[in-house]
Structure 1
């Protein structure tokens, strides 16, 4: 349950729903309060909402639970940065680097914290504050840009990443990049402002570093000769146009492949999906679709290979987690098709579980449950061996004779694993449990014995004996009488009936101690049948008439159904007839 809540929290965090993510992580923490990863994830979600005090509490708990985990110090440093506690942040990052000296995130965090600490100690400048303040200094900057579907794609563009990194180092350079529509879109995401997405034409901007360099250079001295115009870059524009055309062509190939798949023209569909993947290697749906065709064709190895490639490429591209989950689910399905024994189900089950951590799809969950159930059934079939079951039963019998009841139970249990349909073994184990005083377990085995073979008298004698020992004489009497229907001359069942009748009559005569009577009545009151009789308004009136109105009571004795219920109360010790 904790893993399920964690997976939901991760999905909400990836989608930018940080409040929802906090709720899921809190639910997971309630279920697994010692899991350091859950506190780390919730700390990141709090920091994304600028709730740095809460983020700091969770980060400290993370480090407390797992002091040798470097990411905990990264969370701790980020929370301190958010609170402008730069010295504490520097200490946290340094401590993390002691644990993991090569951790790039900690190195970057330390450098940023030291830079921020230097700026905070510098004397105030007379110049105006950088536009939008220090919005690019937040510790969860990259998480927000990744979570938004628009800016997520920009992170694959090196020039955009360099712009952001430059603003992290020097926010005063903001004016250099405001003409870039991608930067305006990023500002909208970081400020939680809905902005119009830039068109493809607007996205075709010059390299930002070239613009920055031009702006930083001093103006040239005026001369008589005009300054030469910068050379155009037709090659770059041509490449971008060609890339768009290839993507469009890839989509057409995909549509053609889907159409052929629906017509069951699998080979042709494969050709179209393959062509689409060659034209555009940034869309993993071409691979997952081709994997579906291979699955339909029974080419399970090819299907699994395509799914693995889709997952690997999808993680590189930071593709939608639903696409990753789809590839994993398809892989698990193909693996099930090749399973020959119960152990072959294990990697498929693990793959379905991984898919659910990416996206909790009901279809994937059903496949997982079905696979787990099939694995269990197959394990039972593989373990089934009546001959070995008989050998284990005989070993149990020997220990029973030696009054070594725990050892006998062990062998009877193994016999039932080898042959779960043998009523004799349930009967024998019930006898062991009775000797050990484990009455509920013995009663359960006796009932299972009767269920498997209603004509097996031993099942009734075992069950009746346990009920008798539990002082449920009325129930024991019913069990013995039911057994006699199948074996009229069974002396053990007859003796059981006699003993029960003696105990019931003794109670009616008042020959038992008040403590025993009270205990017997308390057990009877837990019986749902007794509860129903006593809650019946008609039966309550009947009982009152038996006490106060002899004439009416005489009429009640003529009703077989009423007398049957009265007898039930008498047998249970609830009512005494004098």
Structure 2
């Protein structure tokens, strides 16, 4: 009997919940509730152009693992950005010793050699940077290698060395223009520009990849999937491409294809699944942070595959994926909470509560976990523990009406009408224009046989928002039935019946039209048949 009156309130409650969650997630450290590795911390500083700070972190990374070629490469790049060229050359040399085909390290060392007038060494490095370049998740460093080489050759008047490089450089310069269009949110211009580059180099993965990124930003996910597929055909071992295609597959609910691509990534097990152009993808999509460079790790891939598996109904596989993610980082409270939700769906609420409790222990300030644990307690009939959790939400957000709405719904569901009434009243006190709270409090008043107060609340709800009129009339009709005032009850339902009748299809009219069409068709058929008979 009470369900219809509280439908809008439930929607309102979820809206408040989402707002509070987003408020929490707008904090810079909340984009991922997990710990970064030393190398990833260095990348974070570098992406914020805090080069001096990143040097210290990358130095720590290579001390922790002297064979970390990526850390040596970025240490060299950070030195280069600080104009510490000899140190940059040394770091890049170490990276090249670890991997003689490290195109990025050659590119950064090339630049340093040219800056120090070491032309021969710079040209040698530029040849290797171009030769070994592959599409990668960090940046299209080929354009820098080409540009530095062309500038140096022109300076020494050896343009004969760069005849083959000019067309390639020109195409990558077009790509660079497209990237700048995207930075300025000119997405259509970015597509038009990158299409020119694709026309020059139709089998270049960098071009198709960027086109897919822009189409994804435009929410043109099907075209983005086609673009990423073209990029994968050009560079099937560029693993980051599978991450981006899986992401757009998830957006169009193609979860089998998303699982396939994410599994490809897991099997390849690259150090980072993605880094560049990631702000509107995966776990970052719904965050308030708009940083385009952020490390996407294998833990994130397991998390995303769990989501797709859950959408496919493979809850057991989803739980397994989240367990793998937790092995990589046991401190990720979002993974813990999601696993708890899936475990609860499997009917194991005791185990779910353990995960929620661990998430709360690790991050007590995240009140959303109290709400989730409270719901799990309710499913087990542990009302006291549940209400303690809902009380904690109110304690942490005493001035937010959404906190009281959450507790009010829980109290209402468990028959604590007086408690629910107090919470709805607090919502109205904090937000006197909250029509949903008036509707729900009116239902509470009716259940407590406080009919005048119920009618006052419903009238107020209709005054604040005229769209509530039909709900108010239905609730009043129930009230008048309870009080034995059938005439008043019919006065409330009659307008609803008329409105419903007006929306019903006029089957007599449709039947008459259909019958007329059949009759006309029959007449035409017999007339034509008669004419044919006369002709014969």
* TM superposition score category, shorter chain reference: 0.3 to 0.5
Name the TM-score, length of structure 1 as normaliser: 0.31
Greater RCO structure (CA 8 Å; 6+ sep): 2
TM-score by length of 2: 0.33
